[in-house]
Amino acid sequence: MKVELMGCPEDLIQKCATCEYCIFEDILSPEQRKNKTLDSDMPEKHVSRMAIEQLCGRYYDKVCAMKYAAMRAGCDDRTAMQMGVVKTFVWDLGKARKCRIDFNQALINWTRPQHLGRGFEESYAKRYEEIWNLGLRKFYHENKLCNKQIFTADHIYEMVMAKPQTYERTLAVLGTLIQEHRERDAI
């Protein structure tokens, strides 16, 4: 006989009791949220602790089984951070439409090509990719050249959602910052 807690199988990792909402309940599959996941080794490609904390957005310094499961999900920072940005989009879209929007509805709107004011169709997801790439910087870690994202999920969201003129100026500034980074040989 399987015991269920609050409608969920007992071996399924739940959000912390103090959290009203947990982004990881939306991004992780039931299989990834099983308690046995916590016994697994960390995959080579995994979400960094810094990205996990940004996505959580509430109790940055608290221990949470859901965070540990997310680190073992085999997702990279780019994908996980985008899901965190969509979490903010859920709230904004709900306010704009004056109704509750679930994560999957927001994700559909996020990825759908539409007119965002620059004279052609584009998706918020495409804008996210553009900003993400402009925020990557090279650094050495254990004698290995790696990428590091200099923006937080909140920074990226603000830039993606900017009005067309602001977005264009942002792209220009970010291009200049990359060039200056290279000129300083900042690696």
| DSSP calls for the chain | ---EETTEETTB----TT-S--HHHHHS-TTTTBGGGGGSPPPSS---HHHHHHHH-S-TTS--HHHHHHHTS---HHHHHHHHHHHHHHHHHHHHHTS---HHHHHHHHHS-EE-SSSSEE-HHHHHHHHHHHHEEEEEETTEEEEEE-S-HHHHHHHHTS-HHHHHHHHHHHHHHHHHHHHTT--
Model pLDDT, residue 3: 38
Model pLDDT, residue 148: 86
Checking if the pLDDT of 62 tops 80, the result is no
Max mean pLDDT among 40-49, 81-90, 98-107, 169-178 falls in 169-178
- Find the mean pLDDT for residues 168-178: 95
Checking if the pLDDT of 155 tops 90, the result is yes
- Find the mean pLDDT for residues 116-144: 92
Q: Provide the whole-model pTM.
A: 0.77
Average pLDDT along the chain: 86
Distances (CA, A) of 153 to 78, 128, 174: 10, 10, 16
Which of 76 and 10 is assigned the larger pLDDT? 76
- Find the mean pLDDT for residues 26-55: 85
Computed on alpha carbons and rounded to an integer, the radius of gyration of the chain in Å comes to 19
Checking if the pLDDT of 5 tops 50, the result is no
- Find the mean pLDDT for residues 127-156: 90
Greatest alpha-carbon span in the chain: 65
